[in-house]
Structure 1
């Protein structure tokens, strides 16, 4: 596919659901195929959002997959008993793909050395499956994030990987509970592009805003993921990633603060190489904030001299 290049099955198992004590007519039967395997995702160039897969130059000694288990395909049907007038028959035969209960082993997985997962301190949360729910994305609370990649319209059938991004503590006055953001990398089967989403505490409905106490709103004009080249000795292709929250405004009803100027926050992943920080738990998230007052200065002219007091 456009996103998932390969699923390698390394183990399979079949089981039948237990039958009820009293057998009805017709009798529903459900069998389940369980699969263990490896998922390999496409390499998308400089902005490697999918992360799990082979390097541009494959390394046979390194894992290049996302290790998964408990992928299910169910086989169901109904068996009708033979009667004086009807022969035994099977009806309502159906197969169903069930990925909602999948589990993943990151210790057995491998990801590309210049990928988003490697360079941003993300924590794998879950594999998301949406079938037949056009409102699932807006209900999830993710705000759309622009990136160098084409943006996909997800619709009512899509898959995705959710990550947690630890933003640190809210400060001593807020207690020890940390602030955790959500990152979503999602795609529609056989479609071009990806949907990237950001979920912050208080974000709802897919809007680029956060509601505080039901009265205040923090509004973002744009949210964008970017990558940049940062060559280092021995690592000429070293890549960094930035998450930019631009033109941030605090709103109370119709009043905005600041009334003029531009506020921007940039989150950036740990720029150190894997040799410098071999353990993922030691990777850090940095941030930078700026405010620029773009209100024009008042310059008196001969036709508009300053008043004396």
Structure 2
């Protein structure tokens, strides 16, 4: 294994920048090269990447590293931190374990989305968390029709719709009333935003399904991919979403189970 590591940090957090300097010094004392420029990280195919920030920072790092098979170790500087494996106070103990090979790689489902307009495919996007459809500005209620593998399934008159991975189930979907999914569940979750009918409920489908979302009523809506890139979808146009051929890779040290993480982050004291 080449003795080189990549750093991906949220530069808006001064604590993350300060810890990045400490980490660089720690690795240099062990004759490891530390890279922080993405072009250099890709060129060297670093064995792993350290993310310093919150879940959002980890998502960015994991999404960018996925095409190159680079696993990510998340250090939490945020608040909830469902995804980040360790807290900042434990970083050097964790790094010792990684260098000793005392870790596992957990693969996470990603989504591939293609916009269908003018009888052609346009704008290929990848998402680790979710693809979100939402009404824009003063636009009234919109209706989003979900077809599963070519078959009409459910219609959502709502303010929007979230199509989420198990990773994304603890993000926007959770705040919209969707269930939390274990990362081991190979499924995709559809969660409506402020549905305007009682029959519009969250729907869990197999990751083998090809999901096509049509804007069936309303002039237009906005579609975002992991909360970053966004496009405008017009009436009659659709987005086709399916399991991506690549997966994000997260480094897990085995310190906490998924159940423990959920209990800690949601402050459930029932069993204490």
More helix by share: 2
Query: RCO (CA 8 Å, sep 6+): is it higher in 1 or 2?
Result: 2
Tell me the TM-score normalised to structure 1 length: 0.26
- The structure having more radius of gyration, on CA atoms, is 1
